[in-house]
Chain A
Amino acid sequence: MKKKNKKLIDKKGLRMDGRKPDELRSVKLEVGILPNADGSAYIEMGKNKILAAVYGPKEMHPKHLARSDRMVLRCRYHMAPFSVQERKSPAPSRREVEISKVIRDSLVPAIFVENYPRTGIDLFIEVLQADGGTRCAGITAAALAIAEAGIPMRDLVVACAAGKVDETIVLDLMDTEDKVGSADVPVALMPNLNAITLLQMDGILNPDEFEEALNLALKGCKKIYEMQREALKTKYVNLKEVEEQ
């Protein structure tokens, strides 16, 4: 990672966008926004704008990819060419292939895949605008889409990153902090089962700093979880209110 002389945390201890070190960006969640999908969700986290959609479970195509004892989750994380400063080629990059895999691994533990042998679900995550932490925001939205599709789950999955910038452990890094900072630790959590389903790190942290970052990320996850749950319930509560008027 590059070191620049740019100050990421000012004298008052505030970050470039005015946040405190342990403060999340504003999060907006919406469930059930794509009519064709079996489940869908939209997340805005700071300037990140991400859509997630689920199709299935359904017959697996091609058939040889089906598993006789479980449902297969296929996941495609993709960034729109216009989502970043320099146009990104629409062909999937190695980064996108890896992120698709770790996102899948972060969601499968939460799904009762054994309930639907021989079937598959397709999960699509499309990053419309990226500002750091897209894999985490993508996971948070994807879990909502899966729940909305009525697929049985052990728990929701919620994700958030923590990292280190200017010698300070901070929550939910935005793009500049991620690029200029010295470490980034994305974490996904099944909040009720206290199970960590995604953990990556790049940068350098000593074991104490790592623990601090991990705990901060988990705290962030728990905050987002409350919003996630509300977003899911709101879809049905609104419906009820409309009908009773």
Chain B
Amino acid sequence: MTGSIAKIKQKQMEQLLSKGKRLDDRGLTDYREITLEQGIIERAEGSARVFLGKTEILVGIKIATGKPFPDTPDAGVLTVNCELVPLASPDFEPGPPGEKAIEIARVVDRGIRESKAIDVKKLCIKAGKNVFVVFVDVYVLNHDGNLIDASALAAVAALLNTKMPNYEIEDDTVKITQGYTPLTLKSRPITVTIAKINDKLVVDPQLKEEQVMDSRISIAINDEGSICAIQKGGAGYFTTQQIKEATKLAKEKAEEIRKKMGW
């Protein structure tokens, strides 16, 4: 979907891969360099910026009060949205989120939700009436591949940095008071994306690799090393063996990132 790549480049990439090498000198299972900054947007209740190689993601967290969903009256609401900001790539068009942005948002959402990172019960102010709504807005500022992992990482980092407003209930109305309480996370899910190119599994694909990949699989791993979300993407397939390899790889890589982040 993102542009096309010169045939000669593709050939070069395939030749390198067959020798276990990649365009940017990484090994097949190496991540690009990850840098993380937290709390860079003061007006947001939480924020983080992640660089994954040249891919740049900014996540801002806004907290609002709102009504709970009728089927979960005592639970707060988590909303993840992703914007492929037009300034980040010639392929990003202005307008409402397309399927690519929606997929990223929903995969990030799934990792956080299913790992139960946020205790939604704690976001309840008054059951059935008032709850906190956590808005996670993912901003893609530069696209050089693997937006899912970078977005998921930035989202968790931003949540770890989030401060919840203090409040009082006065005559049945919620009053926000001075000061903040940090949001505590019960899990820090890490998402690992693996691309399949020429039947080889490659961790953390950069954009040029995504342009030639058959398919990809993103696997979110929680603190205990269990899987909490999976998404296969791309118009190709995996064999059962490759899925097994990928889940094993994802677990190892998640561990590695967890250590690096100090989570």
Q: Please give the residue numbers on chain A whose beta carbons come within 8 Å of chain B beta carbons, in ascending order.
A: 1-2, 94-95, 97-98, 100-102, 104-105, 108-109, 185, 190, 193-207, 210-211, 214-215, 218
Contact = CB atoms under 8 A, between A and B. Distances in A.
Contacts of A205: 226-227
A194 B231 CA distance: 19
Nearest to A106: B232
A205 B72 CA distance: 24
Interface SS, B side: mixed
A104 B229 CA distance: 20
16 contacts: A94-B105, A97-B102, A98-B103, A101-B99, A101-B233, A104-B235, A109-B235, A185-B230, A201-B229, A202-B114, A204-B227, A205-B227, A206-B224, A211-B244, A214-B243, A215-B240
Given A198-B232, A200-B232, 11 more contacts: A2-B72, A94-B105, A95-B106, A105-B233, A196-B232, A199-B230, A200-B231, A202-B228, A204-B222, A204-B227, A214-B243
Contacts of B102: 94, 97-98, 101
B164 to A, nearest CB: 22
Nearest to B238: A196
A15 B262 CA distance: 43
Given A97-B99, A105-B232, A218 B240 contact: yes
A97 B103 CA distance: 8
Contacts, number: 101
A202 B229 contact: yes
A118 to B, nearest CB: 15
Nearest to A183: B114
A68 B230 CA distance: 32
Contact of A199 (B72, B103, B222, B232): B232
Nearest to B247: A207
4 pairs of A and B residues whose beta carbons are closest in the complex: A195-B237, A201-B230, A108-B235, A199-B232
B20 interface: no
